Structure 1
Amino acid sequence: MAAGLLASPAAAASSSTQAGKASSSHSTPRPVVSVSKTKASPAKSDECPTKVTFSSNIKVKTYASKTTVAYRWLRGNGTKSKVKTFTLKGKGVKNATVKESSTFKGGDTKGWQAVEVLAPRKKTSAKGYFTVSCGGDEGDGGKQVVNTGHVGAQIWVDENNCSATLIGRITSSSHRWVRYQWVVNGHVVDRDAVRVDGSRRVYHTIRPRDDYRGWAQLQILSPVKSSSGRSYFRIECRDSSPKVSASVDAPANYEGDCPVARTFTGTISASYGSGHVKYRWIRDGSAGSWQDVYFSGHGYQSRTVSDSWSASASGTSKRAIEILGGPTSGTVEGKVTCKVAPPAAKAWVENGTAATQTAATCPKASVSGTGSIYATGPIKIKYTWSLDGTVVKTGALDFTSAGSQSVSFTSDSDGLKGGSVKLAIDGAGSDVVNYAAVCKA
Structure 2
Amino acid sequence: MLIFIENTPRAYAWGSTEALPDMLGTAPTGEPQAELWLGTHPGSPAHVAKATPVQHTLIDLVESDPDRYGVDGGPLPFLLKVLAIGAPLSLQVHPDRDQAAAGFAAEEAAGVPRDARERNYCDPTHKPELLVALSEVTALSGFRDLANAREDLLLLAAAARELGLTDGAEGFERAACRLVGRDAGELRRDFLTWVFTRDTCITAALACLAEVLAAAEAGDIGFWERALEEGTIDPDRLAALRALAAAHPSDPGVLVSLLLHLVHLAPGEAIFLGAGQIHAYLSGVAVEVMASSDNVLRAGLTQKHIDIEELCRIVNTGELVDPRFPSERLDHGLIAWRPEVPEFQLMRARVREADAETGSGFSDADAATRIDLPAPSPVVLVVTAGKVRIERPDAQPSEVVSARRGQSLYVSAGEPICITGHGEVFLATVGHDER
Fold agreement, TM-score > 0.5: no
Give the TM-score of the pair, scaled to structure 1. 0.22
Q: Comparing both structures, which one devotes a greater share of its residues to helix? A: 2
Q: Comparing both structures, which one devotes a greater share of its residues to strand? A: 1
